[in-house]
Amino acid sequence: MIDQETAYEAVRSRDPRFDGEFFFAVATTGIYCRPSCPAITPKRHNVRFYPTAAAAQGGGFRACRRCRPDAVPGSADWNARADVVGRAMRMITDGVVDREGVPGLALRLGYSPRQVQRQLTAEVGAGPVALARAQRAHTARVLLQTTELPVTDVAFASGFASVRQFNDTIRQIYARTPSELRTETGTKTAKPAAGTAKPKPGAGAARSGPGSVVAGSAGVPLRLAYRGPYHAASVFDLLAAEAIARIEEVTGQPGTRTYRRTLRLPHGTGIVAVDEHAPGPWLDARIHLTDLRDLTTAVQRLRRLFDLDADPYAIEERLSADPRLAELLAARPGLRSPGAADPEEFALRAVLGPEAAEEALARYGTALADPCGTLTHVFPEPALLAHELPLAKALADGSVRLDPGADRDDADEALRTVAGVDPRTAALIRTRALGDPDVAPPDEPSDDTWRPWRSYAHRHVQAARTEKELQR
């Protein structure tokens, strides 16, 4: 975390660039906030700083009702870092602790549960249980304030093991009961529009910010927050160029496009839609889930796909020092390096190519129980393609891992031993499926001064190259 005096200056200036990078708490009120909180700036001697919301909660502070510190973008550090803490944070946000517990997290990391606990506590001020608990509480608040699900269903959909645990956690973090949180002024759930049904357990969805929702065929709104400028056009251009029928589509005209796709999730499937037009520091989205327990995982996969936790200020500061990139940065402020909604699917498609991927989808894809327009399938699991594609076999037997907590160097080394994966494809998979911000494609001019943001530098170079080709 940045030094405390710099952090306090960020609080005094209500600087949104630091939202999610750290949190501050006020000893006299017992409340913790995001740096951009509009409330009166507290006196310095009353302020405490924490690297995560979970650490602030562990210090006995409750979330501010005004700035909603649990709804900020995640720290860019967790996507950039390749060490055990960065890997652990990515897996916790993906819901691994909720599904497999701390022993499962530790096993995936190759450490003992005690070692994981010690390293996370030292670095982020909270262990894996506390971090997962903070995430569950945020998911519960979202569901309480944006759906009409019964409180008991919200508890289990959020990942809590019991209703009692759910009630105790909500009271501790928000200083209100779940019912009070649901009915507080300004966040009452809207009645469904005429002719639509109320959301049912396992079939609804929620969004990450306050406001009302309307259930029905249009889905339920989400707000996916990001920091700094966001160059949405380049992301949607890329997604449109890559989309394959049945599982993806981009509709509308540039500036007002919508990206829709299907998702295979731990407990079921989902259909998501994200709009290009950004009305605020967020992207508007809608989501349908067959099982609400997949909410956290679905949201995190969208965040990785659209690279919403990036820090464009840090990236620009480093890359703009190179005169060769300065003009490109000015032309596309907030350019992102998109990830992948499903890392294994992306890797298989990268090896197969568009036409072969469409053929594989037609032969082995799984049909949705409830298709939505042109979205009718999810991409086949690696095991279904293992008999004819070496990478699919490696993914199915675990010799290549691309999950959020995978060691990037180990995965890259394993990829390069698989037949059909050339160095350029391996670099692409590392950039997109593993979300590595510092990849230099082979045979492309690069510069070590661009580190640790080489993926973004090459995105700028490629975007400029593509624009020139279109103008010819």
- Residue 431's pLDDT is 97
Eight-class DSSP state of 42: P
CA distances from 8 to 156, 311, 319, 332 (A): 38, 19, 27, 31
Mean pLDDT of the residues in the chain: 89
pLDDT-derived band at 470, boundaries 50, 70, 90: confident
Q: Which of 46-50, 159-163, 200-204 has the lowest mean pLDDT?
A: 200-204
pLDDT-derived band at 195, boundaries 50, 70, 90: very low
Which residue shows structure tokens 């509308």?
252
**pTM to 2 decimals?**
0.87
- Residue 221's pLDDT is 67
> Is 202:175 a contact under the CB 8 Å cutoff?
no
pLDDT surpassing 90 at residue 13? yes
CA distances from 177 to 166, 181, 208, 211, 348 (A): 10, 6, 19, 19, 46
Beta bridge partners of 296: none
- Residue 307's pLDDT is 96
- Of all residues in the chain, what percent are helix, strand and coil, respectively (each to 5)? 45, 10, 40
> Is 216:196 a contact under the CB 8 Å cutoff?
yes
Beta bridge partners of 226: none
Over residues 341-365, the pLDDT tens digits come to: 999 999 999 999 999 999 999 999 9
Provide mean pLDDT across the span 61-67. 92
- Residue 188's pLDDT is 42
pLDDT surpassing 60 at residue 408? yes
- Residue 80's pLDDT is 80
- Residue 185's pLDDT is 45
Q: Which of 259, 283, 282 is nearest to 271 (CA)?
A: 259
User: Domains of the chain (ranges plus CATH)?
Assistant: 4-71 (3.40.10.10), 85-183 (1.10.10.60), 221-432 (3.30.310.20)
pLDDT surpassing 50 at residue 207? no
- Mapped onto helix, strand or coil, the DSSP state of residue 132 is helix
